Chains A and B, each alone.
Chain A
């Protein structure tokens, strides 16, 4: 059982649905471990993050040791090995955004949310993470919330955008 930090509710491990999706992924795979990140993403889609129990269960399905799989999981910044909020904000701090006003955007996000980089709000609504170039350089400064890109940001625009996320 895994215990997300802010809800206090136990998280059941690999559901029937998840196992179904994982087996579909494995059926088309050249080797079992080649779908390691895809399978971790399936778990993350259902639970929001990947806990230690999930790593053990998935490792078994992929014929890997939990340590090997954790090595993969912790390499990729899109796999969360700690609980995250309902919405994940990826703020781009690469060079075009850095020049065009990353700092004021970060300051506004931090003061509005009351958290630093790598932290989650107490109500579990947002996690704020820095990210490498989002490829939105012509619309710098930019950020991504969940699956949506937001460009040409100003501190005022940040306030409006945050309102859209429950």
Chain B
């Protein structure tokens, strides 16, 4: 058996308290940070680039490339920031909660390694409002990390000083958007910002800022400790490491598991989650949250990594799949999804603010048996208008991912609602 097959969850025992700093250290904790401090920051960046850690928040952008665009050296603008995106609000996603509740020191260590690599002065963990247990456990772990000298002035006797903060949000999906999160931290409405400039160059208060997802950062101290080669060997594909996969919906054992990156849909759905509940037949699934296109049964042997999912016209997203069975009305499914997006639109740009409620109302009418044949054109045209670069951020294009795929996959079901003036699922 290779050294640590499941680095992210090795210390996590469901139903038990997370390891305190002593227990975390006994399991090799903070060795990655100790080692990083003996390396050049640029070398840490290079190792993370070589390990090819793709962004686990859903975008899949290589973390090393992001870090490498931060200005370095004595002339770099200061202070520099690391923002840990713990605003887990993508519908169907519960993987970061497992890491935050189960092993908060791991998230802190990874964030500190990132901060060292870009020579940041401040690390802020941006946590969603509803994760009360995570807040409690992170606060305690932060206090322990300060007391042990892993954060604060002259970390472990080195010349580097870093401040570690926890910000608990006041709610709203837009806060998880990579520039909305910066406006939220500045005490503004969490509207997206125009890009360029990239946040790595001009982020929080106009200073260089790296925004990374919790799971992404939880990997990096393991890379420093065991090397990029080891990290890549954990994966089935080019994208290094393991991945926290999740399954929710009508399956035998819904949950979250750490598996090699690039495990297939079937391995996760059948192997981990035990397949469908008795009496429920599989129809489709959203591979990684509400903003990913639906997959049908023909794609069950596809690998769950960013490149493989992209190749079949879908997206890995957060890697936490939502399963749709034959007893779920596809129109109702889309109504649920689009109602969410319409409500969470920040209202900043017109296509999203006006278009999403129109989509939701159209779906509501179809679901209620009051649809018109022209409504299919309304939906098709919105899919085109709200995708691509017609909106300010990725919220509306994300909302169109499941709709575009549903209009192909379930077109007959939509048309039946319209022609029969009723929902065929309601009479069951």
* B-binding residues in A (CB < 8 A): 30-38, 40-41, 62, 71-72, 75-79, 90, 93-96, 98-100, 102, 130-140, 144, 147, 149
Contacts and interface: CB of A to CB of B under 8 A. Distances in A.
B132 interface: yes
Given A75-B172, A131-B130, A137-B254, A98 B94 contact: no
Contacts of A41: 170
B363 interface: no
Contact of B169 (A31, A71, A78, A147): A78
Contacts of A40: 170
Given A96-B322, A100-B250, A137-B254, A76 B92 contact: no
A135 B93 CA distance: 6
A136 B337 CA distance: 17
Nearest to B124: A30
Interface string B132-145: 10000000000000
B322 A76 contact: no
A78 B322 CA distance: 26
A34 B186 contact: yes
Contact of B340 (A34, A93, A134, A135): A93
A41 to B, nearest CB: 6
Contacts of B343: 130, 132
Nearest to B90: A133
Contact of B171 (A32, A78, A94, A136): A78
B336 A137 contact: no
Give the size category of B's interface with A.
35 or more
Contact of B248 (A102, A137, A149): A137
Interface in B339-365: 339-340, 343-344, 346
B286 interface: yes
A41 B249 CA distance: 34
28 contacts: A30-B205, A33-B186, A37-B184, A72-B187, A75-B172, A76-B171, A77-B172, A79-B171, A93-B339, A95-B286, A95-B333, A95-B340, A99-B323, A99-B324, A99-B328, A99-B336, A130-B343, A132-B171, A133-B89, A133-B90, A133-B92, A134-B130, A135-B131, A137-B92, A137-B93, A138-B246, A140-B249, A144-B130
B390 interface: no
Contact of B130 (A90, A130, A139): A90
Nearest to A32: B187
Contacts of B336: 93-95, 98-99, 102
A33, A96, A102, A139 — which one has the most chain B CB atoms within 10 A of its CB?
Answer: A96
Contacts of B132: 147
Nearest to A139: B254
A35 B166 CA distance: 12
Contact of A94 (B185, B205, B324, B340): B340
Contact of A78 (B91, B170, B186, B333): B170
B129 interface: yes
A138 B344 contact: no
Contacts of B170: 37, 40-41, 76-79
Given A132-B340, A135-B130, A137-B254, A99 B249 contact: yes
Nearest to A76: B170
B173 interface: yes
Given A100-B250, A135-B88, A35 B187 contact: yes
B187 A37 contact: yes
B345 to A, nearest CB: 12
A34 B172 contact: no
B340 A99 contact: no
A111 to B, nearest CB: 19
Given A34-B185, A132-B89, 5 more contacts: A78-B129, A93-B340, A99-B328, A135-B89, A140-B248
Nearest to A130: B343
Contacts of A72: 187-189
Contacts of B322: 95-96, 99, 137
B169 A133 contact: no
Among A78, A131, A135, A140, which residue has the most Cβ atoms of chain B within 10 A?
A135
Interface string B363-392: 000000000000000000000000000000
B120 interface: no
Nearest to B167: A38
B97 interface: yes
A26 B91 CA distance: 34
A78 B336 CA distance: 21
A139 B94 CA distance: 10
Please provide the 10 A-B residue pairs with the shortest distance between their CB atoms, ordered closest to farther. A76-B170, A33-B187, A78-B171, A137-B248, A98-B336, A94-B91, A36-B187, A96-B248, A138-B254, A78-B170
A65 B130 CA distance: 28
A3 to B, nearest CB: 24
